[in-house]
Amino acid sequence: MKNRIRELRETRQMSQEELAGKLGVSRQTVNAIENDKYDPMLPLAFKIARVFGKTVEEVFTPDKRR
């Protein structure tokens, strides 16, 4: 799955640490999701979308290569 988390976070001048704090996860988890190394489960995906005021589909898109 591809995502726009880094772009959305940087637009809001938010650090990975700050985003991790809002989501209740570690900075390593935010980093892994941003780098497409880990796809979050649905509750976390909804939480991420809510933080940025977007829908899940606006933040995450299917990766056609997989």
Partner 1 sequence: MDTTRISPVGRRGLAAAVLFVATFFAARMILSIEGADMPLRILAALIPVAPFAWLLTAIVARLKAMDELEQRIQLEALGIAFPVTMVILMTLGLLELAVPLPPEDLSYRHVWALLPMLYFIGLALARSRYR
**CA distance to 16, 27, 35, 62, per residue, from 4 (Å):** 13, 17, 10, 12
Q: How far is the CB of 55 from partner 1 (least distance, A)?
A: 21
Q: Which helix (H) or strand (E) holds 2?
A: strand 2-3
Q: Give contact residues for partner 1 (rule: CB under 8 A).
A: 24-26, 28-29, 31-32, 37-38, 40-41, 44
3-state secondary structure of 6: helix
Q: Which is nearer to partner 1, 28 or 61 (CB)?
A: 28
Q: Which is nearer to partner 1, 13 or 43 (CB)?
A: 43
How long a stretch of residues is the chain? 66
Q: How far is the CB of 43 from partner 1 (least distance, A)?
A: 9
